[in-house]
Chains A and B, each alone.
Chain A
Amino acid sequence: MLNAFKTAFALCIAFIIYFLVTQVSHLSIDTSLKDLAPQFANDADTRFAVDHVSTSLEKRFVLLAEGKQATNAVLTLSKQINALDNVQVAPDSSQVLERVLAFYKPYRFHLLSEAQRQQLQGNTPNLQTLIANEAHQKIFQITASPRLLNFDEDPLGWQSDFLLSRLSGLSQSSATTTNTLQTHYVVFNLQAEKPSLPSQQSLLKSINQVIADTQKEFDVSIKRSGVFFFATEAASQSKSEISFITSISMVAVFTLLVLIFRNIGPVILPFISIALGVSFAMAVTHSVFGAIHVLTIVFGASLIGVVIDYSLHFFYHKSSELSSHKNHRHLLNALLLSLTTSLIGYAALSMSDLSALKKVALFSCCGLFMAWLSVVCLGDYMTKNMRAPRQQLLHAFVSTLSQPLKAFSAKTAAATFFGLVLCGAGIALLKPPTSDDPRLFFNASDSLLAQEAYVSTRISDFEPGRYILLKSTPDRSLQDISNEFLQTIDRQTDLKPEHFVSLLNWVPSRSSQQANYNLLESIYLPNGAIEQLLSKLGADNAIALALRKSYHNAKSQSLDLATTAKAFETILPPLWLEHNNQEMAFILIRKGTDTRQLHSIAEQVPGLDYMNTLAAATSVLKEQRQSASTLLLLAYLLVAGLLVFRFKRLSAIWMISIPIASTSILLIGFFLTGNTLNLFHTMALFLVLGLGMDYSIFVKEMRENVSITHQSIFLSAITSLLSFGLLAVSSIPVVSAFGITLLIGNLSNLIGAFIYSEQLSYYEQ
């Protein structure tokens, strides 16, 4: 058996070396916030569409300037930030307009607004004269819409009006100027696909510098909006916390071990096991997922506390004066059983739908396994000629702490246990207050949140995080679905078609385009509206002749969504996309639209999904929390089964009383303090189970040497608390929730282990 472990150990070492040699230069730390959000869409196509759009939006950020010289400030911002690496200013309004006009010009004979279509379809007498008179009136009006096309291309101004109606339909807000205050903004696009954290931080630093300089130079206020700012802030915060937690944890554990073991030698194995465990975990996680998420590393840092347990138990028992061959066998059995129960606890995290937690699960299991192999394979070599640890000191300390617990008679212990379990179960059944808000994942600064909200009110006209997704089917095009949706909307009292905007507004169906083309023929005919207008203005009829020719040449032109989306790809987020031969399009919802009916409307129209990302994410997190609670019960059952199988006695189930009691104490504590439970509290309870089982297994397996066992458990609990406990001070809400749960849970485990040990000794005597 040991040979098999040694072979596995050698293979893992080889893999680490291979990873270090080939991949270390490509090591990628993922900071995407999307990774922290649950997958709220069940089908793959919807997920693809949502990911596609959100990836595009995550690359955009906006800087909004206000002040007397906001325009010039924005010009400077654009120029200076554009000069930075990996960021590019989005096309400005004139460039966008040029592209839109150039794209639409060949199709202009196929486009009509609803009002223009109705006018041409009507039976108005002298329709052509009426149209010519209206155009004549309009050309002099000072409030007439601006002409986007030259007079000789669009004398009536109809195509110009069509384009303007679409532009104004998409946005009513824009930069504004008053006598004293200007408001202008500029959009930037990030170029790098997956920028490293240092490059993100460097870019942010440069942007901050440009903003500060510009604010000073032009005396303007500049506000920012974009995922980039939140992601970089979160990543930087995580990184600094990793450094803090790891450093404090390492120093504290190192000092403790040197103090106990009296020389530096015994400290080597724990740190080798940690180094190998974390290296192997990183290598596997990076190889499987292509990157390591910062959250994985934050949680990974907490592994130190668990990984070190194996070497501590190993050292403490091996270096004991009472160490024997029998003890060694028991020790290996205890280590193996401990690993198995911990793996069950950690592996349960992989059942979450959260990508980040899956990575944590893989990282943790791999780290634990490799650390365990290191201890088992290298332990014997490292403990040769080792001095006995300061058992007297630790013994005195542990004895003092555990003395009050000896007062627990069997009956008192059982009554306390059942009392706790009853209270805990009662609270669980009463459904304690919970929180499933996905915003718990982020701890954005108030300043960033305020700026984001402010910029959103100034330049965004659409509901954030709410949209409608259309998906074509073999027998229904996107236009068909869109038309059905708009007809349904028309029947609602509180909703209007103009509340909804999509790329489909820009591209009439093929049949509509053909109908428009046919309707427009009359205005280009001899004595049609165009000839009459030119006559009224006293202009040369050559313009009418040239237009008639252009109209006939454009007969075969037809605008489609794919071409439009392609033409707009540098201007717009991907509001249309094709995936697996299915077309999909997003409909944006104007701010202030009553969205309550949209869910039921989406159910009525096939091929239509109403997406409310916040509500959906909250709902999925709730499902995950409830599912995790069920999985926790399952994990307890599996561990109980494993214990019965291992010890061939039903009474072995008592071993799980330690984590059960700890979990009950946590539930009671949260209930009494009014804390709301979230998914991450539940996830931490898996580790409470794993750690509690470690202690009970060592109490059971190593009961022949109770004092040594108590000391090793105490030592390992202290090291675990040093790392897990530090997570409680994290400013990231979910990490803090994780840490607090483990801090209280593991302290309870320690106390429970001592009580269990007393009861075990009592019954065996």
Chain B
Amino acid sequence: MKQYCFSLLAQIREAIQIGIVFSLSLVASTALSQTNHPVSALDSLPKHCHFSAKFDQKKTLKSLPVPLKSTGKMFFSCHAGLIWETQTPIQESLILTRSEYQFKQQAESPKSTRLEVLDSIESRFLSRLLIGLMSADKHYIEQTFNTSSFSTTEVSLTPKDSFIQKAIKEIQITHHFSPEKLSISIHHTDGTLVNIDTHHVTVLQDQDTHMQQCLDTGSPEQHCLALFDPAKMAILLNENSGN
């Protein structure tokens, strides 16, 4: 017996998570804007293959007058994926890869001693989406959003997909050149507003030793291993959980 309706309900969960992921992906994408003479904010997104950055995030919930502030850092490799590490006030790391495996590690939790595999359809979907945006894939962004630029430093993205529209109303990106700064405001359909500021963007040279690049940014070895060899890490975690 088919439960079409319940399947539809599950889409909601996905849609809401998309909203969260957009807040990450667009930070990274716009953080890559290095040029001083963009045709538009969207065109200004460079296509660097490896970079690291720091971020400040402020989330405002509709019925909570106090903003929720967090900070962290990230590492992106166009070949492998992304490590997103929230450092304050909580510690949480996400390793989103181009493979079918995604990972999470939470500190201050009984399960913090090792990585967990995120095996939901949603996490795979979100990872594909995030990496697509991190790669500054203009084709992908234009396929997913309607874009409108108010000036060469401001762009507004509205999802084309009605499914994504259920979670995200609009994303505004403002690009400041001097000093280099990107502000992203994500207006969720449920009234939640997420503001993200990026800074300390460091473009890394494309080298043979991507693993070393990852380690050089301060990411734990386990995270870098998971990013560059996700299948092996998944097997390893599976064996450990069996034991």
Contact = CB atoms under 8 A, between A and B. Distances in A.
B10 A151 contact: no
Given A142-B84, A539-B66, A96 B4 contact: no
B5 A137 contact: no
A459 interface: yes
B156 to A, nearest CB: 20
Contacts of A168: 10, 13
B106 A459 contact: no
Interface stretch (B46-54, B86-94, B170-178, B199-207): B86-94
A171 B12 CA distance: 12
Nearest to A154: B63
A145 B12 CA distance: 11
A80 interface: no
B94 A142 contact: yes
B235 interface: no
Given A150-B63, A588-B3, A172 B121 contact: yes
B contact residues, range: 35 or more
Contact of A141 (B14, B106, B163): B106
Contacts of B62: 150-151
B4 A143 contact: no
A174 B3 contact: no
B152 interface: no
Interface stretch (B37-45, B124-132, B213-221, B222-230): B124-132
Contact of B8 (A93, A143, A176, A573): A93
B64 A151 contact: yes
A701 B81 CA distance: 93
A143 B120 CA distance: 12
Interface string A423-456: 0000000000000000000000000000000001
Given A143-B118, A146-B20, A539-B65, A174 B8 contact: yes
Contact of A540 (B13, B65, B68): B65
A187 B70 contact: no
Contact of A467 (B1, B70, B162): B1
Interface string A99-138: 0100000000000000000000000000000000100110
A184 interface: yes
Contact of B68 (A71, A94, A140, A184): A140
Contacts of B8: 90-93, 96, 174, 187
A151 B63 contact: yes
B128 A537 contact: no
A132 B21 CA distance: 25
B106 A100 contact: no
A577 to B, nearest CB: 14
B66 A167 contact: no
A93 B66 contact: no
Interface in A40-58: 53, 57
B134 interface: no
Contacts of B86: 140-142
B150 interface: no
A580 interface: no
A168 B219 CA distance: 33
Interface in A147-172: 147-148, 150-153, 164, 167-168, 170-172
Q: Which of A90, A179, A464, A465 has the most CB of B within 10 A?
A: A179
Nearest to A572: B5
A573 B4 CA distance: 10
A178 B125 CA distance: 7
B9 A142 contact: no
Contacts of B61: 147, 150-151
Contacts of B10: 167-168, 170-174
Contacts of A140: 59, 68, 70, 86, 89-90, 92
B129 A177 contact: yes
Contact of B90 (A141, A179, A571, A586): A141
Contacts of B14: 174-175
Interface in A167-222: 167-168, 170-179, 182, 184-185, 187
A573 B7 contact: no
A464 B1 CA distance: 5
Interface string A58-74: 00101000001001100
Interface string A6-46: 00000000000000000000000000000000000000000
A146 B59 CA distance: 14
Given A97-B9, A146-B20, A137 B132 contact: no
A153 B15 CA distance: 21
Contacts of B66: 537-539
A461 to B, nearest CB: 7
A168 B13 CA distance: 9
B14 to A, nearest CB: 6
Nearest to A145: B13
B94 A152 contact: no
Contact of A93 (B19, B59, B118, B166): B166
Q: Which of B64, B90, B143 has the most CB of A within 10 A?
A: B64
A139 interface: yes
Contacts of A137: 90, 106, 108-109
Contacts of B2: 57, 60, 62, 225, 456, 459-460, 462, 464
11 contacts: A57-B1, A71-B161, A90-B5, A100-B9, A137-B108, A142-B24, A146-B19, A150-B62, A151-B62, A175-B14, A459-B4
Give 7 closest A-B pairs by Cβ, nearest first.
A146-B16, A170-B6, A152-B63, A93-B8, A460-B2, A187-B4, A171-B7
Given A93-B11, A171-B9, 16 more contacts: A72-B160, A90-B8, A96-B8, A140-B70, A141-B92, A142-B23, A143-B92, A146-B12, A146-B20, A151-B64, A152-B63, A171-B6, A179-B132, A501-B3, A537-B64, A588-B3
